[in-house]
A = this chain, B = another copy of it.
Amino acid sequence: MMTPSLPRRLAAEAVGTALLAAVLIGSGIQSAALSADGGMRFAANVLASVLALAVLIALLAPVSGAHFNPLVSAAVWWTERRSGTGLTLRELGGYVAAQLLGAVAGAGLANTMFERPFLELSGRQRSAGHLWLAEAVATGVLILLVFGLLRAGHGGWAPVAVAGWIGAACWGTSSGSFANPALTVGRALSDSYTGIAPGSVPAFVLAQCVGAAAGLALVAVLFGRSRDRVPDDARELLVR
């Protein structure tokens, strides 16, 4: 199968990230409105988000790799920079722009579907060392998971495995497991259940970057550096 054209791949990243952000933010608004119990609210929000994540990866991986996350795209660029099967730096720039644009549009879509202003700033502070540790852990394991599955030839499991990890990490860590700079920006644009104050965003993103680097190091430790074989199912996630 030919690699789809770059505009088509960027459209897929934008659409996918937008729908993911819309479900993530919208389900937070709805669950907070429906339930009086904090556990039920979070459970519904997490469940809806991971279902959307799994479905959108399964749908769009054949088009763009279904990264929906600047750190996944950056890791694809980094790990495949010599193999020619990943992203070029210019393509990486396009992916990140499409993901950010999609996240903003998705926040606006969620706000509109729930009769809120199209975009608004969240007032929810999320700023503390233990939260940054949690973001690093959630992001690091996400990267370990994606590239570990690829190395082991199980890339086809990525839709459910990535969704499964995010579901586990949302509960198992203290930060809400954003684990994605684009979605972090999108969340800052809805003053609702899943929000994060703009002032808390930079440190969250920095923690995610540190975690992603640690995740790539763990891939090397656990799966080795050599790339003796390129599994067939790696092609979808690695783009081409």
Q: Which residues of A contact B (CB under 8 A)?
A: 4, 8, 11-12, 15, 19, 22-24, 26-27, 30-31, 33-45, 47-49, 51-52, 54-55, 58-60, 62-63, 109-110, 112-115, 128, 130, 133-134, 137, 141, 144-145, 148-149, 152-154, 157, 161, 164-165, 167-175, 218, 221-224
Contact = CB atoms under 8 A, between A and B. Distances in A.
6 contacts: A26-B173, A27-B168, A31-B171, A51-B165, A51-B167, A55-B168
Nearest to A52: B168
The oligomer's copy count stands at 4
Contacts of A223: 63
Given A47-B167, A113-B134, A167-B47, A62 B154 contact: yes
A43 B41 CA distance: 10
Specify the main secondary structure of chain A where it touches its partner.
Answer: helix
Contact of A22 (B43, B130, B144, B172): B172
Contact of A43 (B43, B52, B58): B43
Given A37-B40, A51-B168, A52-B168, 10 more contacts: A12-B222, A15-B222, A22-B173, A27-B171, A39-B41, A47-B167, A59-B161, A113-B130, A113-B134, A113-B175
